[in-house]
Amino acid sequence: MPGILLVGESSFTGRKMNDSISWKAREIEILTLIAQGHTNSQIGAQLHLSYDTIRWYNKTIFEKLAVTNRQQAVHRATELGLLETPSPTQSQPAPEIIKSPIQYVANGNVHIAYQIVGDGPIDLLFIHGFLSHLELAWENEEFSNFFAEMSRFARVILFDKRGVGLSDRIQGAPSLTDTVDDALCVLDAAQSKSAFVMGTSEGAATAVLLSSAHPERVLGLILFAAVAKVVRTGLEPAWANEAKKFQTLINQMQQGWGGAWAIEHFAPSKAQDDLFCSWWAMILRAASSPSSIKAVLEQLGNVDIRSLLPQVSVRALVIHKQADRITPLEAGRYFATHMPNATWVELPGADHIYFVESTAVLKAIADFCQTESKNVFK
């Protein structure tokens, strides 16, 4: 295993390091434990330091090394001579995804299921679209890989919205305000004072409302396959669904619930993948029921957050795939052109599901979080 090159001193300069960067012995000690595969909790217990203190050290170490995750930190530190180079016979353990047990937090009489993935130096609250299931989703390898990669640079906070997944079932569907309140309860339960907030598909509306109403809690806003208004009013906006077409979609959904409903639209690259289709059908059945999801979609038909966009003061990243079959490209571009601090990233592909063909998506998110973390904490 990589070892400490210097102990017992207040600062350290590696044999390849720029002299302008000084390193504390404690930072090298933590770097070594990171290289050995220890989690933040394990490092804290071994060094008798709090979990938050270890996260603060990680942030400092990553900034000094100009990296965004643990693997990059170990690689860069080894290059710079801060850690010993492993011999050819030594094998490093494959990084394992770190996830908490599923927990619950009460918002009034409603209990919200949440889970924490990873222990990176920044927090990222992830808001799904119209449904999710915190437990069964992990059975899909691409879902697991997506959050494993994201957890390299962030402590990811996931939750099921009220009415779906493992959260309490309710009559009707939650409003955007309900979901924002639930998200704040989850952040408090996770002891997160501020976080990046990512919304995908319909979850983008909640992410925008949270960012505009509580900017002090938001380090940056990330939107993927986002839509500001689902159903047109009259003929506007052109990229939204026609009202009759949207109602037909709801009717078809009810009739097809239980199978791999609309997989050819949500993930066309997976439409012929029997294993993925079986997983998708299972998630739909487990996450909700035909009547419940009808109420959710009808509620979404009333959503219109266009007036909020100019009020979003935080920095934002808007990612959209060019041939998305659920949310047109122009719907995503609308966010980028109407939020004052937005960066637009247009990617090839047609999959609406965020974790399918996600390499470029993850890179854009990691780069944005790294840049904005430096701006916020400098």
Question: Would you place residue 18 in the very low, low, confident or very high pLDDT band (cuts 50, 70, 90)?
Answer: very low
- Whether 1-95 shares its CATH topology with 103-229+306-377 is answered no
What's the start-to-end Cα distance of the chain, in Å?
33
The 10s digit of each residue's pLDDT in 74-103 is 888 888 888 876 544 444 444 568 899 999
Average pLDDT over residues 148-162: 95
Average pLDDT over residues 160-178: 95
Give ∠ CA 34-39-45 in degrees, rounded to 5. Answer: 100
Q: Which superfamily is assigned to 103-229+306-377 in CATH? A: Alpha/Beta hydrolase fold, catalytic domain (3.40.50.1820)
Average pLDDT over residues 182-210: 97
Q: Is the pLDDT of residue 205 over 80?
A: yes
Backbone φ and ψ of 85, nearest 5°: -75, 125
Retrieve residue 206's tokens: 């909640």
Helix (H, G, I), strand (E, B) or coil at 174: coil
Architecture in CATH of 1-95: Orthogonal Bundle (1.10)
- Distance, in Å, from the CA atom of 300 to the CA atom of 130, rounded to the nearest integer, reads 9
In DSSP notation, 42-89 reads HHHHHHT--HHHHHHHHHHHHHHHT-SSHHHHHHHHHHTTSBPPPPTT
Q: Which pTM does this prediction carry?
A: 0.79
Residue ranges of domains in the chain = 1-95, 103-229+306-377
Least confident of 58-67, 77-86, 209-218, 301-310: 77-86
- The predicted pLDDT at position 85 comes to 67
- CA-nearest of 50, 23, 11, 67 to 374 is 67
